[in-house]
Copies of this chain bind each other. A is one copy, B any other.
């Protein structure tokens, strides 16, 4: 009899050891009331036998308000100071969530990125996580506390605060999930999960129940806002399932998991749209070996991601090169380009308001005619395709921003992704 009780106790203890990392995005912690709702959910998860680590974003529009404040002071603030400023947003939320959990009768403790030794590289405003010291987290969990961590932020070895880029709280979520070997990373947001397209642009979009890491990465890279590419990449590397759910109810959302056989039967799982792209056209660049490599190496060293590279060699021994870049990177790109052109010769033109529509699916590897279907859907709507790029599981078309929403809806319908009940 005694042995049985002991065995049950041991099992219970093993079950209790499971760590769940939950993340609440800005809209899920936008008010005191919503913070209390999040606290209730966290406490319920703990009461169900889990150890809980919570990652939070800044409340509502706090980050935008802080950016506005910085703009009032400076047109081009130093990035280190921008990080020092923005990191306060999440610090406010962690403290308030800890207070709410205390007010509801459970014990919680909050940590900034620096306080849990979330070390990053030194690329301010876009830092990447290098390591997390889990010592303090585990010791606080062991005392029965709920541990709350500020998302989006870390610290360099020198102690300077860094931020992980927009949506970087998801990077924090997944990195903590990986380090703590969590059962699941729950990403609470204000939508029901990952959709076949952005429901604000495509009212007929459907929620996806399960999607592979690779598909999610492509969707994220090419415009789906729910999760950043690198967060998913990290989850894939450490095989941590991510569950994207709505903080407003208990229904399951979208699970992002390893690829399964069943997933391959669908050619296109979802569509994405990336607006706010700019085409940079370089004219009369000397057409000598190594010049193109020099240009793109220099841009990469400035941590700017480019795409859609097209090169035309002219008769006069020069070349025209064009590529696209996100609007947000223009301020960083322009001085780099000016230095390059001063050295190499040539001129640069900037054309705003491009967009890119993409379709993604692991089934594409086997299916035929996916590209043809996409091009026909756009042609039927008289939408001009300015460039095409592909991966093994993605096809993207560059279009004018004016055509963007229309293009997304056309493609979504063409691949039979529209829900029956819009």
Contacts and interface: CB of A to CB of B under 8 A. Distances in A.
Contacts of A66: 92
A95 B91 contact: no
Contacts of A98: 78, 81, 84
A96 interface: yes
Interface string A52-80: 00000000000000100110111111101
Contacts of A94: 84
B91 A74 contact: no
A66 B88 CA distance: 12
A114 interface: yes
Contact of A96 (B73, B95, B109): B73
Interface in A228-283: none
Contacts of A91: 84-85, 87-88, 91
Nearest to A92: B88
Contacts of A100: 73-74
Contacts of A32: 69, 72-73
Contacts of A81: 95-96, 98-99, 102, 110
Contact of A82 (B76, B95, B160): B95
Nearest to A86: B95
Contacts of A96: 69-70, 73, 81, 85
A89 B114 CA distance: 17
Interface string A86-130: 011001101110111011000001101011000000000000000
A35 interface: yes
B103 A84 contact: no
A78 B110 CA distance: 11
A335 interface: no
A313 B81 CA distance: 62
Nearest to A96: B73
A72 B36 CA distance: 10
A110 B160 CA distance: 10
* Interface size class, chain A: 35 or more
A159 interface: yes
Interface in A298-334: none
Nearest to A71: B32
A272 B80 CA distance: 44
A225 to B, nearest CB: 26
Most chain B C-beta atoms within 10 Å of own C-beta, residue among A36, A92, A102, A103: A92
Nearest to A85: B95
Contacts of A85: 91-92, 95-96, 99
Q: Which of A36, A76, A91, A98 has the most CB of B within 10 A?
A: A98
A357 to B, nearest CB: 38
Contacts of A95: 70, 77, 81-82, 84-85
Contacts of A74: 99-100, 102-103
A228 to B, nearest CB: 24
A109 B159 CA distance: 13
A70 B74 CA distance: 30
Contacts of A36: 73
A86 to B, nearest CB: 8
22 contacts: A32-B73, A35-B73, A36-B73, A73-B99, A73-B100, A74-B100, A74-B102, A78-B99, A80-B109, A81-B96, A81-B98, A82-B95, A84-B91, A84-B98, A85-B91, A85-B92, A85-B95, A85-B96, A88-B88, A91-B91, A112-B161, A114-B114
Given A88-B91, A91-B91, A115-B159, 13 more contacts: A32-B72, A35-B73, A70-B96, A73-B103, A74-B99, A74-B102, A77-B99, A78-B102, A81-B95, A81-B99, A85-B95, A112-B161, A114-B159
Give the top 9 A-B pairs by smallest Cβ distance, nearest first: A85-B95, A32-B72, A88-B88, A84-B95, A77-B99, A74-B103, A74-B99, A81-B98, A81-B95
